[in-house]
Structures are given as C-alpha cells and as structure tokens.
Structure 1
Amino acid sequence: MNKSNKTPEIDPSVVTDLPADTSSNLFKQYKRSLIRFTDEAVYIYSFKEKKLIYADGWEETLGFKDDEITLQQIIRQTDASYLAFSHEINAKTIEFLLSRKTGIKDYSFTVELKKIHKDGSIVPMEAKVGILTVDQNGGVDYIIGRFRINRNIHFGIVMRYDVHGPDKEEFEKVINKAVQKFLTISGKEKEALKYVAKGYSFKEIADELGVSASAIEKRIQPLYKRFNVKNLTHLVSFAYENYILP
C-alpha cells in the first residue's frame, strides 16, 4: 500500500509535453524500420531535444493520436492506484540513467500497469522502457518504450516490476529503495517465489539460479514483513490470491 499521499512529478525540464513531429524525416524513417506488434504502442523520446521523436499505436491502444501523445501524457494515463508507483519508477530510472556515463545501452525496466484509455476504460499493459541510442559521450540520447496490451494480466494489490542491465544489482537497489513505500515485488523476488511454490528448498532454488542459498533467503525473507505473512505457506497462498503467481 502506498504510504504517501504525495505523487512525485517527472521533472518537466527533462520529460516534456511535446509530441512527435509526424512529418519529419526521422519519424518516417522509424515508421518504415521499427516493428510494432499487434496491441502494442511504441514511443521514442530524445533527452537532447526534450520531445518525442516517434510515436506509433497510441490511438489503437489508448485512444490518442500519434501526433498528440506526449511522454508526460503516457505517464499520466495511469490508473490512480498505480500513478504514484509509475511516476516513482520512471523518475528514478531516468535519474539513474542520466547519472551513468558508460555502459547504459543495455539498461531497461519492465512493469505491469493499469493504463487509462482516453474514453476512461482500464487497459492492462506490460511496459518495457530502455535505451535506444547513446550520445558521443556515452550518455542517454534516445529511450524507447513499448507498451503492450495484455488482457491476461490480473491485478491484485501487489505491483510487479523488473529491472535489467550490466550493473543490475545497483540499478535494482536504486529502484527497490524508491518503490519500497508501495506494495511491490521485483522480478528477482518473484522468480525465487515461483520455486518456493513448487516446494524447492532455498538451497535447491540457489542451485537452479546459480546463486547462494543466502541470496535466495535475502529475496524471500523481506516478503514476510512486506506482505504481512507469517510463513512460507502463507506467503505462497498470498502470492496466488494476488496474482503474483499464475
């Protein structure tokens, strides 16, 4: 549960309300070359130009024309129960990436969100945001976001996310700290919990994942307090009840 009533804002000097220019040559180039799948919307945002460079599929998914959608609007079109969480993970990811000078191209995060269609209906989406290009100094240039409708997502009270990158441990530490005020579970925690539900011991899980048993314990133990459960049986039951596990 969110322990704060304050919704963090994305710095408007970093993420603007400027839409893509659909008549530009660059937009047309991405339109020809970038693959977009069914029920998916894509954006490319430039930190140098402070605007969307490309947008496709937003009218089909959220009801906004590609020449009117902005990155701020994409973030805002989130259900109230997920809005603060969405703002926090976006803001901290941007902050983390802008602080890195090398090796940032392979960083990304994924998150399941309740998005809001322009007509007010709820749209369950899986979002992945990552680096598309870097500048000559190795800093962030373009980021790309892919938002896919997934009608099979069932939302409980727990928000689900994952992070990826060369220094995943540090990235995860930053994001975990930022979202600890919410009721969440990371991909790493969910992965370990999946094996717990199958009856694996911590040592067996560790062997499967190529880590130490203590590392698995560190993933599972915090979930007791976070979800207010007393033991592993209760934890697994909670996970199924809240759609953490299928």
Structure 2
Amino acid sequence: MKNNEYGEYSRSLVRDIPADVNSDIYKHYDSIIPSFEGEAVYVYSFKENKMLFAKGWQDVLGYANDEITLFKIITSSSKRHMAFSSELNDKGLKFVQSRKKDHEKYSFTLEVEKIHKDGFIVPLLSRVGIFKATNGIIEEIIGKSQVVPSLKFGEVMQYGAYGPDRDEFEETLSKELFHHFAISSKEKEALSMAAKGYAFKEIADQLKVSQSAIEKRIIPLYKRFQVKSLPHLISFAYKNHIL
C-alpha cells in the first residue's frame, strides 16, 4: 500500500501488531467491554502502538482475535472507500486532540465497505471513540463495527461526529473533507427534510437552529456533488442511497 492511501496519523501511529489475548489487560477489557452478535470491537494503544484488545473480528472480517490489527482494519477498506475513511480517522482524531477536556466523550461514525479476509464485501457501520486520555493526550481509542446487511453504497460516504462540541466537530470535518464525496449526519438530516418539501426556514424552526445554519448545511452540497439545484441535489441523494 502506498503511503498516500491512508492518512498521516495512521502512517505515524498504526502498527501491524495484534493483541496478546493472554495478557492481563486483554482479560480486563474482555470483562468490562460488552460484545454483541454481528459486532466486533477493538482497543488500540497509541502509547504502545499496538492492539490491546480485539473481539468478534472472526465473524465480521474473518480474522481471529489474536490476528486482527488496526493496520488490517484500516487497509481492509474497499478501494473506493479507502482514502476517505482513512482521512476521516486522521481529521477526527486531530480535532479531538485539539480539545482541552472531555476527550472520552467524542466519537465519529462511518458507513464503510470492508473487504473480508476471504475477499467479499462486508457493509459496516463503524464508530471510533476515545477510550483513554491522560493530561490531554489521547492514549487509547476504541472502535466498534457492526455488520449492516441493509446498507447500500453509492459514491457518497456517510459519517457523523459526536461530542460536547458536536456542531463545531462536524462543521470542521465537513470543511476539511470537502474534496471528498461525503455527507455528514447533520447535512443529511437537513437534506432529508428538504426532500420532504420543507422550506429552509421550516427546517430551521424544527431543528431549533438559524436559517443560515441550514443554508450552510445544504448549499455547499451543490458544489461538492456538482449539482445545480435543490431538486437535482435531492435526485442525486436518492440515486446514491443517501435518502
């Protein structure tokens, strides 16, 4: 894999080292982190540059718990989803690192195609959050991926950002990832209401934000998706399984 196929943060911090399933830390996390059918989870340490915990990946991507690594998870994204998913990880973690407190309250999600060890496509809803931060430094992240067979992918990536500064978080990601065909959860929320016939002011009233906030969510999508009108944008959204 070429370096430009995944982000700067990933290149510098991600290693192809699996968790030690016999370690005390693994057993500890196994006792406190819940697991569900069709869901895989991992905890990765930036301090030690390796997996600390992994469970459920055999069923999701075909890798045993002592075989899966964060490097494998990142590089298993499909070709058309690789660049965006990697850059989202980078930009998301950098934003959270810039906060002064409450790092563990931040997370971001992504609907993504992954390639199973046996070569077939797996549709996943993945969430990455901060598991441990000390003195303002992110030390461990936690990732959860759930198989969602009903997911349909077009050319547009769908993501969301969550945390105390959610609006700023998502707006920052939208600006920094503008060159990608992608849409955030807040942008999608506003667009779905516009598709139902609501005017921008009506959307703003229902979401309890200003009309200009709604315009900032929808109008930039014209340029991003190379459409010329709201009906064209809505048609594009349906075609690409956004709505």
Shifted more, 119-128 versus 86-95: the winner is 86-95
Match of 2:38 in 1: 39
- Aligned-residue identity in percent: 51
> Which residues of 2 match residues 131-142 of structure 1 at below 5 A?
131-135=130-134, 137-142=135-140
Task: Give the equivalent residue in structure 1 for 2:86.
Answer: 87
- Give the drift of 1:11: 4.1
Is the CA contact 2:107–2:163 (under 8 Å) kept in the aligned structure 1?
A: yes
Tell me if 1:178 matches 2:192. Answer: no
Residue 148 of structure 1 corresponds to which residue in structure 2?
Answer: 146
Specify the code of the residue in structure 2 equivalent to 1:170: E
The answer to whether the aligner puts 1:118 opposite 2:87 as a matched pair is no
Contact 1:100 1:139 survives alignment (8 Å): no
Distance 1:88 1:48 in 2: 21
The reply on whether 1:48 has 2:41 as its aligned counterpart is no
Contact (CA 8 Å) 1:82, 1:113: kept in 2 or not? Answer: yes
Q: Deviation of residue 138 (structure 1)? A: 3.4
- Give CA-to-partner distance per residue, 1:182-217, whole Å, 9 cap, x none: 111111100001111111111111111110111111
Name the residue aligned to 1:7.
Answer: 5
- Larger deviation, residues 145-154 vs 94-103: 94-103
SS at match of 2:103: coil
> Deviations for 1:191-246, whole angstroms, at most 9, x for unmatched residues?
0011111111111111111101111111111111222222222221211111001x
Q: Letter of the 1:160 partner, please give it.
A: Q
The alpha carbon displacement at 1:173 in A equals 3.6
Q: 1:217 is paired with a residue of what secondary structure?
A: helix
Match status 1:29 vs 2:28 = yes
Query: 1: CA distance between counterparts of 2:97 and 2:215?
Result: 32
Q: Following TM superposition, by how much is the alpha carbon of 1:28 offset from its aligned partner in structure 2, in angstroms?
A: 1.2
Report the equivalent of 2:216: 218
Aligned-partner residue type, residue 88 of structure 2: I
Deviates more, 1:42-51 or 1:71-80: 42-51
CA separation in 1, counterparts of 2:196 and 2:187?
A: 15
Counterpart AA for 1:35: P
Matched residue of 2:140: which SS? strand
1:96, CA displacement in angstroms? 2.5
What are the Cα deviations for residues 41-72 of structure 1, in whole angstroms up to 9, with x where unaligned? Answer: 10011122221110001111101111111111
What is the CA distance between 1:6 and its match in structure 2? Answer: 4.3
TM-score in terms of structure 1 length: 0.92
> Does the CA contact (< 8 Å) of 2:6 and 2:82 recur in 1?
no
* 1:239 alignment partner in structure 2: 237
Contact map agreement 1:88 1:178 (CA 8 A) in 2: no
Once the two structures are TM-superposed, the CA of residue 158 in structure 1 deviates from its matched residue by 0.8
Q: For residue 205 of structure 2, what is the aligned residue in structure 1?
A: 207
Q: Which moved more, 1:187-196 or 1:221-230?
A: 221-230
Whether the 8 Å contact between 1:101 and 1:139 is mirrored in structure 2 is no
Which structure features the higher share of helix residues?
Answer: 2
Q: Is the 8 A contact 2:97 2:136 kept in 1?
A: no
Q: Return 99-108 or 157-166, whichever deviates more.
A: 99-108
Say if 2:174 and 2:183, in contact at 8 Å, map to a contact too: no
Identify unmatched segments of 5+ residues in structure 2. Answer: none
| Residue 236 to residue 11, structure 1, CA distance change in 2 (3 Å) | closer
In structure 2, the residue matched to 1:107 is: 106
Higher mean alpha-carbon deviation, 199-208 vs 94-103, is at 94-103
Backbone CA RMSD of aligned residues: 1.7
> What does residue 225 of structure 2 align with?
227
